[in-house]
Amino acid sequence: MALELANRGRSVLLVEGGGVEGPGAGALIYESSTSGRSYPLNGSRLRWLGGTSNHWGGWVRPFDERDFTDQPANGLPGWPIALSELSTHYDSAAAWCEVGSDQYGMESVRGHEALSLLNLSDTRFSHRLFRFSPPTRFGRRYRRALEESELIDCRVNLNFSRLNQTDSEVRSAVAATLDGRECQIRATHFVIAMGGVENPRFLLNQQNAPGNQSDFLGRCFMDHYGFSPGAMMARARMPYPRGQVASEDVMVVIAPDSMDPHSCFTLSPTRPDDVLPPDYWANALIADEESTLYRLGMINAPTPHPESRITLTDERDALGLQRAHLHWHLPDSDFDPVIQLYQTLMAELSGSGSARFKWTKRSPPAESDHVGVGYHHMGTTRMSASPDTGVVDANCRVWDRDNLFVLGSSVFPSAGFANPTLTIAALASRLGEHLDLSLGGEANA
């Protein structure tokens, strides 16, 4: 967003809490505690230029139209913006993320007609694509552009600690180094883009916490969670895993067309079961072709639970800010529709004779069991159409502060199965355009 604003002729001070190549002593700022379902919070965050793009796997996919809906989830409204409001910004995001294509339909894959995939034509499922960034390490990739820009002043190892504010706006901010030096920052607009845990932690640490008019600040923490309910026997060498489609760097998944939850299935071929004789793997039910076993994994859309939240502890960090505590509420009831979706896929593909299935898990994991996560910290400063159900408005502005904005996946009110990075970049592009226009003059002025 800083680079896009500079491209539009705007001056930007970019304040990074960590260093250029690593966090240094600043890593201790992120030490946090957890309760509820086990969550690897400390290991999932990186505090230096480029943030968690420094360990990003590069998975890229925009949210689907069905994800941008105001249909309530767990009684809470969804997005107050439509997919169409992000369409052009998704194009910009694809360029920033260095993705080879901004098309995600199966028809965009060269030679897609010849791909030997499962026939889903008579089912309630369809194939979807993930594309991949190199992955782009934003701090490393755009460091020179930051250094060479005459309109961007990028300061590293400098940490926002306090907002000087009235009831309606931020007048200035105090930033500090870990050795105790402080400075005061004045600007027309302030954007907090610290991540899905630090965004609410920083705001909760402020007097008269901005955006907390309805007690949603820090609530509705979400992450994509995994589940592997079973395995499928089907034709061998189907090109579902990444790298199997020779023409492009894509991964093919299976997702429901309209059923909930908006999860997806990944297919990973495994070694055939040694218990079964070799003739079993040339099964007439699979059209007399060589067969293999595929492990089915599920990437699941999270539910926004208000009791899943970031709060503050009494312990303070080197800047004097109270540390974060995450209570991850992921109840058994969130797994019930996931298991039902697997049952539906199993029934529809078994009925067509294209696959056979077996269960490996029929019930939700215990709270003490490990659950795979995406390290996608979402929902803690949720976007809403009303200040009664969120922290920021449709333009990412904090509801009760005229010149304070929050950026990142913390503003997501809901999420499908897609990774958040591309949508974060699209929202950054959109907010950059909004700030430029709100300051007056045409774009690129």
Strands (DSSP E) contained in 151-248 are 152-155, 159-165, 170-176, 182-185, 190-192, 225-235
pLDDT in tens, 298-326: 999 999 999 999 999 999 999 999 999 99
Lowest mean pLDDT among 121-135, 282-296, 429-443: 282-296
pLDDT confidence bin for 370, thresholds 50/70/90 = confident
Q: Considering only CA atoms, which of 303, 319, 7, 343 is closest in space to residue 146?
A: 7
Question: Does the pLDDT value for residue 420 go beyond 70?
Answer: yes
What confidence score (pLDDT) does residue 127 get?
96
DSSP 311-356: EEEEEE-TTSPEEEEEEE---GGGTHHHHHHHHHHHHHHHHHTS-E
Mean pLDDT of 143-167: 97
pLDDT at 73: 87
Mean pLDDT of 382-388: 97
Q: Is the pLDDT of residue 206 over 60?
A: yes
Per-residue pLDDT at 444: 37
- The pLDDT, as a whole number, for residue 277 is 59
Question: Rounded distance, CA 194 to CA 187, Å?
Answer: 18
pLDDT at 292 over 60: yes
Residue 80 CA to residue 390 CA, distance in Å, equals 11
pTM of the model: 0.94
- What mean pLDDT do residues 69-86 have? 90
When mean pLDDT is compared across 114-123, 137-146, 162-171, 286-295, the lowest value belongs to: 286-295
Residues 317-356 pLDDT 10s: 999 999 999 999 999 999 999 999 999 999 999 988 889 9
Using a pLDDT cut of 90, give the percent of the chain over it.
Answer: 83
Residue 57, pLDDT > 80, answer yes
- The DSSP bridge pattern shows strands 250-256 and 289-300 to be unpaired
What value does the mean pLDDT take over residues 9-27? Answer: 92
Query: CA end-to-end span of the chain, whole Å?
Result: 16
**DSSP letters of 79-147?**
-SS-GGGTHHHHHHHHHHTT-S-S--SGGGSTTGGG------TTSSEEEEEEEE-S---HHHHSHHHHH
Indicate whether 369 pLDDT > 90.
no
Q: Is the pLDDT of residue 445 over 50?
A: no
Whole-number mean pLDDT of the chain?
93
Instruction: Give residue 382's pLDDT.
Output: 98
Confidence band for 72, pLDDT divided at 50, 70 and 90: confident
Domains and CATH numbers, the chain: 1-98+141-221+376-445 (3.50.50.60), 107-132+225-300+331-370 (no CATH)
In tens, the pLDDT along 259-284 reads 999 999 999 998 666 665 555 555 55
Cα separation, 297 vs 251, in Å, equals 13
Q: Are strands 182-185 and 125-132 parallel, antiparallel or unpaired?
A: unpaired
Using the predicted structure, report yes or no on whether residue 36 has a pLDDT greater than 80.
yes
